Chains A and B, each alone.
Chain A
């Protein structure tokens, strides 16, 4: 079946502009995660959605970052007034959250470059 998809695959923007990154999780997966991976670095947790529960936003680095998940499926990560330090690969993952030990399935990522 189809995996997690993300769009766009690459995004170049100017400092100060807003960007929207999209994630389509695997159908039926109730949990959705956003991570940020800076060049050569590990994964930085951003936000976690689980079903209809309030999202865990504890990883969002500033109030310029926000995310929503409509209808329990597609998610959009929005970065307002982008800064050069926002340049990174943004990864989305989904899992069939039932007992906590489920595997996360990752999308290919969106590579964001802020000039």
Chain B
């Protein structure tokens, strides 16, 4: 069965410092990988995705993520955090084989950027 782990419930970082939100996955075959962000009382917003090609994916708001097949990871990164980045971040996976299956989301990581 496919699964997504986000090992940190909470990540705290000072404004201006780099941030990393971790994601590891388990899926048969190669995956499609996604990051979504949820601001308070809002729906989820798409940040970026990995489909194929370059392992480093750049997305919205200066975020990027690196697909590491050997480590089955897709960590989200940003070089310099902003207070406005404080939100709940979800990693999601979908297998490329039999993609009629649904997405699986990780439990979420709450990011707090401190001024």
Q: Hey, which bits of chain A sit against chain B, CB under 8 A?
A: 4, 33, 35, 41-43, 45, 48, 50, 53, 56, 58-59, 91, 93, 99-101, 103-109
Is the pair A105, B46 in contact by a Cβ cutoff of 8 Å? yes
Q: Which of A53, A59, A106 contacts B43 (CB 8 A)?
A: A106
Is the pair B103, A104 in contact by a Cβ cutoff of 8 Å? yes
Nearest-neighbor residue (CB-CB) of A35 within chain B: B105
With a cutoff of 8 Å between Cβ atoms, the chain B residues found around residue A99 in the complex are: 99
Q: Does B71 contact A (CB under 8 A)?
A: no
Closest chain B CB from A63 CB (angstroms): 20
Closest chain A CB from B37 CB (angstroms): 11
Contacts A48-B102, A56-B102 hold; do A101 and B32 have CB atoms under 8 A apart? Answer: yes
Q: Hey, which bits of chain B sit against chain A, CB under 8 A?
A: 32, 34, 36, 42-46, 49, 51, 90, 94, 96, 99-108
Is the pair A106, B49 in contact by a Cβ cutoff of 8 Å? no
Q: Which of B45, B46, B100, B105 contacts A42 (CB 8 A)?
A: B105
Is the pair B45, A106 in contact by a Cβ cutoff of 8 Å? yes
Assembly CA distance A103 to B32 (angstroms)? 10
Assembly CA distance A26 to B49 (angstroms)? 20
With a cutoff of 8 Å between Cβ atoms, the chain A residues found around residue B51 in the complex are: 101
Assembly CA distance A68 to B110 (angstroms)? 33
Is the pair B107, A42 in contact by a Cβ cutoff of 8 Å? yes
| A–B Cβ pairs within 8 angstroms, 21 of them | A42-B106, A42-B107, A43-B44, A45-B103, A45-B104, A48-B102, A53-B100, A56-B101, A59-B102, A91-B44, A100-B32, A100-B94, A101-B32, A101-B51, A101-B96, A103-B49, A104-B46, A104-B103, A106-B36, A108-B43, A109-B43
